[in-house]
């Protein structure tokens, strides 16, 4: 191999290794920050809607990781591993919810520096695009609290939504809620009695 080509290859390998190392460091740092926010033992001690600011903080962390070139899904997956849920359905549901909320925040344009700073502090960002522009981003319970209070602080049941839209919702349970209830039940995040309440509400 010509010396010049060998040198270029060596430099490329060093750059790749450096980038991989930086991504790994970011992944470790960011997931270590998310893990305590989604720790089920801590969530179980919270009062009503106590997990809401934790979702906001987690999304801000995932956004920062993405800006640093790290896949937010990897950060979420590693955070789930840190709380002992790796390879479990409840871990997947939790990681998916974290990434989904980041996507929603992006679609609502709620990722300006001011919005990210607000979320870092556990506060609501602002909708910047679409018909709800100017509204704040609330944390909605996909399966209503009124139906299953035990899911109040379950991360997999929490989703960003413009506040006005959230307030206009009722406690109706549709196909999406029923499907999620079954998944949460199978994953061990929802008890049998809770699942039955969701089923009963879905046929009203």
Read off the pLDDT band of 19 (50, 70, 90): very low
Q: What value does the mean pLDDT take over residues 152-173? A: 92
**pLDDT: is 2 or 121 the higher one?**
121
Answer yes or no: is pLDDT of 12 > 50: no
**pLDDT: is 9 or 57 the higher one?**
57
Residue 76 has what pLDDT? Answer: 97
Residue 167 has what pLDDT? Answer: 87
Q: What is the pTM of this model?
A: 0.86
**pLDDT: is 22 or 169 the higher one?**
169
d(CA 29, CA 1): 40
Residue 55 has what pLDDT? Answer: 98
DSSP string, the chain: --HHHHHHHHHHHHHHHHHHHHHHHHHHHHHHHHHHHH-HHHHTT--TTTTHHHHHHHHHHHHHHHHTT--HHHHHHHHHHHTT-TTSHHHHHHHHHHHHHHHHHHHTT--SHHHHHHHHTT---B--SSTTTTSBEEEEESS-TTT-GGGTT-GGGEEEEEHHHHHH--S---HHHHHHHHHHHHHTSS-HHHHHHHHHHHT-
CA angle 163, 122, 189 (to 5 degrees): 80
Answer yes or no: is pLDDT of 4 > 90: no
Q: What is the pLDDT of residues 26-61, one digit of tens each?
A: 778 999 999 999 999 999 999 999 999 999 999 999
Task: Using a pLDDT cut of 90, give the percent of the chain over it.
Answer: 81
Read off the pLDDT band of 6 (50, 70, 90): low
Q: What value does the mean pLDDT take over residues 159-186? A: 93
Residue 163 burial (10 A CB sphere; 0-12, 13-18, 19+)? middle
Task: Using a pLDDT cut of 70, give the percent of the chain over it.
Answer: 88
Q: For 104, what's the count of Cα atoms within 13 Å in the CB-facing half-sphere? A: 21
Q: What is the pLDDT of residues 86-114, one digit of tens each?
A: 999 999 999 999 999 999 999 999 999 99
For the chain, domain boundaries: 21-165
d(CA 185, CA 192): 7
Q: What is the pLDDT of residues 180-196, one digit of tens each?
A: 999 999 999 999 999 99
Q: Confirm if 119 and 169 have CB atoms less than 8 A apart.
A: no
Read off the pLDDT band of 8 (50, 70, 90): low
Q: Chain-wide mean pLDDT for the chain? A: 90
DSSP string, 26-70: HHHHHHHHHHHHH-HHHHTT--TTTTHHHHHHHHHHHHHHHHTT-
């Amino acid at each position: 191999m010509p010396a010049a080509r060998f040198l270029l290859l060596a430099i490329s390998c060093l750059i790749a290794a450096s980038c991989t190392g930086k991504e790994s460091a970011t992944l470790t740092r960011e997931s270590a920050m998310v893990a305590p926010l989604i720790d089920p033992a801590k969530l179980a001690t919270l009062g009503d809607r106590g997990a809401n600011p934790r979702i906001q903080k987690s999304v801000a962390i995932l956004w920062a990781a993405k800006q640093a070139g790290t896949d937010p899904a990897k950060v979420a997956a590693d955070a789930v591993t840190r709380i002992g849920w790796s390879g479990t359905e409840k871990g997947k549901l939790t990681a998916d919810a974290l990434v989904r909320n980041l996507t929603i925040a992006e679609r609502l344009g709620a990722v300006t520096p001011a919005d990210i700073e607000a979320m870092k502090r556990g506060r609501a960002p602002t909708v910047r695009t679409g018909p709800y522009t100017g509204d704040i981003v609330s944390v909605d319970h996909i399966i209503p609290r009124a139906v299953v209070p035990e899911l109040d602080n379950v991360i997999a049941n929490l989703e960003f939504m413009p506040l006005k839209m959230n307030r206009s919702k009722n406690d109706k349970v549709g196909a999406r809620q029923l499907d999620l209830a079954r998944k949460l039940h199978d994953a061990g995040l929802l008890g049998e009695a809770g699942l039955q309440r969701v089923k009963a509400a879905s046929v009203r």
